[in-house]
Amino acid sequence: MNIHEYQAKEILSSYGIPIPRGRVALTSDQVERAAKMMGGRCVVKAQIYAGGRGKAGGVKLIHYPEQAQEYGKELFGRNLVTSQTGPEGLKVRRILVEEAVEIAREFYLSITLDRESSRYVLIASAEGGMDIEEVAHKSPEKILTLIIDPLGGLRPYQARKIALELGLFGTVCEDCVELIMNLYRVCQEKDCSLVEINPLVVTKAGWLMAMDAKITFDDNAVYRHREYPDMMDYSQLDPLEINAGKYDLAYIKLTGSIGCLVNGAGLAMATLDVLKECGGEPANFLDVGGGATREKVAEAFRIILQDKDVKGIFVNIFGGIMRCDVIAHGIIEAAGEVHCTLPIVVRMDGSKVEEGKQLLSESGLNVQVGVNLGDAAARIVQMLG
């Protein structure tokens, strides 16, 4: 689960990490008033669930309040497209107005989960700012990493080593040690899968400050934090993803044309692999879960049908706990509602498989039943070919 920059900064601030003074505006008039409060010169920042705003015109240094208002109008009026948003971009509903800070140096600092070691890893670089991806790609030796032992936790001497390697010394170095320790506390106590400060800056006056912040909460831990659901900005999410969330379906939009309805994450992965091998391009990853009900299958089918990129549907279900006839009913219910004429190929196995297949073939839908997974995948690819 993502949150906005200003929310991430509030959290950092509550852990003693210095951030610029700022205000969130919902209208361009508020942007102007906030700019006045900051003394005219300020930085106006579009709040969207994506980075790369600096290069896309979503972050701007402003010199007087009227200019802030004008820029606010422009941002609120259109979708912001950055290298991280996809071609449609994201709607700007909130704007952060911050005091302008004179920057002397920019660093990169983050803590995230390393899937390989199954541990938190701290990543830092003296070459922070907007081109960190390029630094990581072209000169990986400039990226410092430290895998954190979950039992011992992060130790101040380790944080100090990082701060020194970043080229900091004296009181700024000690401030940086404290900041890194606090960032690790945020990560643990707030159940984050990522906390990122880019850039972390040393101001011309010599203070350390988080100029940008990104926090991603671990979805599996959201239930432990009652305040998290209210922090979500639904305007930043794909409406289909919101619906999937309501029904506890794992849905991820992909770029192809074959909608996939599968039960179980492992089977879903295998399904995508087999489709790809047959030359097909999946439009999504949709897992209805092991014990899916008829309602859940119907809702999953509705979500797939609302995706305009879907030209055909591939259903791959193993009916264990879940009976195949129940699944067939769910499909027929959802497809019938919208008079779906798209080609559907079903591969089913398990309890009541014959009943399920019969229901589908008598349903009047444009449906074929595959003999096995390979055969079914080849069929849907061929039908769309």
In the list ligand GDP, Mn ion, none, the entry touching 211 (Cβ below 5 to 8 angstroms by class) is ligand GDP
Contact (Cβ atoms closer than 8 angstroms) between residue 193 and residue 210: no
Nearest CB to ligand GDP, comparing residues 48 and 186 = 48
Interatomic CA distance for residues 180 and 162, integer angstroms: 9
In the list ligand GDP, Mn ion, none, the entry touching 53 (Cβ below 5 to 8 angstroms by class) is ligand GDP
Nearest CB to Mn ion, comparing residues 107 and 247 = 107
Task: Name residues contacting Mn ion, limited to 185-214 (CB under 5 A).
Answer: 198, 212
Nearest CB to ligand GDP, comparing residues 59 and 260 = 59
Q: Residue written as tokens 């011309």? A: 204
Query: What is the token pair recorded at 384?
Result: 């769309």
Nearest CB to Mn ion, comparing residues 59 and 310 = 59
Q: Going by C-beta distance under 8 Å and a sequence separation of 6 or more, which residues neighbour residue 162? A: 122, 124, 144, 146, 176, 180
Q: How far is the CB of 190 from ligand GDP (least distance, A)?
A: 20
120 part of the active site:
no
Interatomic CA distance for residues 295 and 101, integer angstroms: 54
108 part of the active site:
yes
Considering the candidates 49, 108, 120, 184, report the single residue annotated as catalytic: 108
Nearest residue (beta carbon) to ligand GDP = 54
Interatomic CA distance for residues 55 and 94, integer angstroms: 19
In the list Mn ion, ligand GDP, none, the entry touching 282 (Cβ below 5 to 8 angstroms by class) is none
Q: What φ, ψ does residue 199 adopt, rounded to 5°?
A: -90, 145
Q: How far is the CB of 318 from Mn ion (least distance, A)?
A: 44
Q: How far is the CB of 205 from ligand GDP (least distance, A)?
A: 13
Considering the candidates 71, 196, 251, 299, report the single residue annotated as catalytic: 196
User: Which residues of this chain interact with ligand GDP, rule CB under 6 A?
Assistant: 20, 43, 45, 51-54, 59, 98, 100-101, 103, 106, 129-130, 198-199, 211-212
DSSP 250-316: EEEE-SSSEEEEESSHHHHHHHHHHHHHTT--BSEEEE--TT--HHHHHHHHHHHHH-TT--EEEEE
In the list ligand GDP, Mn ion, none, the entry touching 52 (Cβ below 5 to 8 angstroms by class) is ligand GDP
Length of the chain (residues): 385
In the list Mn ion, ligand GDP, none, the entry touching 186 (Cβ below 5 to 8 angstroms by class) is none
Nearest CB to ligand GDP, comparing residues 104 and 147 = 104
Q: What φ, ψ does residue 224 adopt, rounded to 5°?
A: -85, -5
Q: How far is the CB of 299 from ligand GDP (least distance, A)?
A: 35
Q: How far is the CB of 204 from ligand GDP (least distance, A)?
A: 10
Nearest CB to ligand GDP, comparing residues 53 and 329 = 53
Contact (Cβ atoms closer than 8 angstroms) between residue 334 and residue 279: no
Interatomic CA distance for residues 343 and 235, integer angstroms: 32
Q: How far is the CB of 137 from ligand GDP (least distance, A)?
A: 17
Interatomic CA distance for residues 328 and 356, integer angstroms: 5
Query: What is the token pair recorded at 61?
Result: 């240094």
In the list Mn ion, ligand GDP, none, the entry touching 4 (Cβ below 5 to 8 angstroms by class) is none
Q: Active-site residue numbers?
A: 108, 196
Give the footprint of Mn ion on this chain (CB under 5 A).
198, 212
